[in-house]
Structure 1
Amino acid sequence: MIAPIRTPSQQLVTVFGGSGFVGRHVVQVLARRGYRIRVASRRPERAFFLQPLGTVGQIYAVQANLRDPGSVARAVAGADHVVNLVGILQESGRQSFDALQAKGPRLIAESASPAANLVHVSAIGADLRSQAAYGRTKAEGEAGLFAVRPDAVVLRPSLMFGAGDSFFTRFASLARLLPVLPLAGAETRLQPVFVCDVAEAIALAVDGKVPGGRIYEAGGPQISTLRDLVQYVLDITERRAVVLSLPKTLARMQGSALGLLDRITLGLLPDDLVMTRDQAIMLETDNVVSDAAIAEGRTLPGLGITPTAFEAIVPSYLVRFRRTGQFDLKRHSGPDDTLPFLSPDSTLENRAR
Structure 2
Amino acid sequence: MKIERICILGGSGFVGTHLVSQLAARGLQVRVLSHRREMAKELILLPTVEVIEADVHDQQELIRHFRGMDAVINLVGILHESTVGRVDLPSARRGDFQKVHVELPRKTIHACGESGVRRLLHMSALGANPNSRSAYQRSKGIAEALVREAAMHHVEHENWYLNGPKFIHGYGLNVTIFRPSVIFGRGDSFLTMFASLLKAFPVLPLAGADARFAPVHVDDVARAFADSLDNTATYGQTYDLCGPRVYTLQELVNYVGEVTGKKRSILPLGNLLSYLQAWALEFKPGKKLMTRDNYFAMSVDNVCGGGWPSVFGFQPSALEAVAPEYLRAKTPRARYEGYRESAHR
Corresponding residue to 2:43 among 50, 55, 78? 50
Matched, 1:180 2:188: no
Q: Cα distance, 1:74 vs. partner? A: 2.3
Matched, 1:279 2:294: yes
- Are the aligned partners of 1:118 and 1:152 in contact in 2 as well (CA < 8 Å)? yes
Corresponding residue to 1:121 among 105, 115, 123? 123
Q: Which amino acid in the other structure matches residue 44 of structure 1?
A: R
Corresponding residue to 1:65 among 41, 55, 70? 55
Distance 1:65 1:213 in 2: 28
Q: Which residue of 2 aligns with 1:161?
A: 184
RMSD over aligned Cα atoms:
2.4
- Are the aligned partners of 1:76 and 1:111 in contact in 2 as well (CA < 8 Å)? yes
Q: Cα distance, 1:115 vs. partner? A: 4.2
Segments of 5+ residues of structure 1 without an aligned counterpart are 263-268, 333-338, 344-353
**How has the CA–CA distance of structure 1 residues 59 and 327 changed in structure 2, closer, same or farther, with 3 Å as cutoff?**
closer
Corresponding residue to 2:312 among 295, 303, 310? 303
Q: Which residue of 1 aligns with 2:28?
A: 35
Corresponding residue to 1:208 among 223, 231, 240? 231
**How has the CA–CA distance of structure 1 residues 59 and 328 changed in structure 2, closer, same or farther, with 3 Å as cutoff?**
closer
Compare 29-38 and 244-253 and name the one that shifted more. 244-253
- Are the aligned partners of 1:153 and 1:210 in contact in 2 as well (CA < 8 Å)? no
**SS at 1:103's partner residue?**
helix
Distance 2:327 2:136 in 1: 28
Distance 2:328 2:216 in 1: 20
**TM-score using structure 1 length:** 0.82
Q: Which residue of 2 aligns with 1:321?
A: 330
Q: Which amino acid in the other structure matches residue 136 of structure 2?
A: Y
Q: Cα distance, 1:207 vs. partner? A: 2.5
Identity, in percent, stands at 38
- Are the aligned partners of 1:251 and 1:280 in contact in 2 as well (CA < 8 Å)? yes
Match runs of 1:127-146 below 5 Å: 127-146=129-148
Distance 2:199 2:142 in 1: 39
Q: Which residue of 2 aligns with 1:111?
A: 111
Q: Which residue of 1 aligns with 2:12?
A: 19
Q: Which residue of 1 aligns with 2:76?
A: 86
Distance 1:114 1:146 in 2: 18
For residues 261-318 of structure 1, the C-alpha deviation after alignment (integer angstroms, 9 at most, x for no partner) is: 23xxxxxx2x3x6211111111121101124xx4xxxx44442121100111111111
Q: Cα distance, 1:260 vs. partner? A: 1.6
**How has the CA–CA distance of structure 1 residues 240 and 115 changed in structure 2, closer, same or farther, with 3 Å as cutoff?**
closer
Matched, 1:253 2:257: no
Matched, 1:75 2:68: no
- Are the aligned partners of 1:81 and 1:118 in contact in 2 as well (CA < 8 Å)? yes
**How has the CA–CA distance of structure 1 residues 147 and 181 changed in structure 2, closer, same or farther, with 3 Å as cutoff?**
same
Q: Cα distance, 1:325 vs. partner? A: 2.2
Q: Which amino acid in the other structure matches residue 275 of structure 1?
A: M
Distance 2:283 2:62 in 1: 32
Distance 2:279 2:304 in 1: 29
**How has the CA–CA distance of structure 1 residues 91 and 196 changed in structure 2, closer, same or farther, with 3 Å as cutoff?**
same
**TM-score using structure 2 length:** 0.84
- Are the aligned partners of 2:69 and 2:117 in contact in 1 as well (CA < 8 Å)? no
- Are the aligned partners of 2:212 and 2:248 in contact in 1 as well (CA < 8 Å)? yes
Q: Cα distance, 1:180 vs. partner? A: 1.9
Q: Which amino acid in the other structure matches residue 287 of structure 1?
A: N
**SS at 1:207's partner residue?**
coil
- Are the aligned partners of 1:201 and 1:305 in contact in 2 as well (CA < 8 Å)? no
Corresponding residue to 2:255 among 232, 242, 249? 232
**SS at 1:326's partner residue?**
helix
Q: Which amino acid in the other structure matches residue 128 of structure 1?
A: P
**SS at 1:82's partner residue?**
strand
Distance 2:213 2:231 in 1: 29
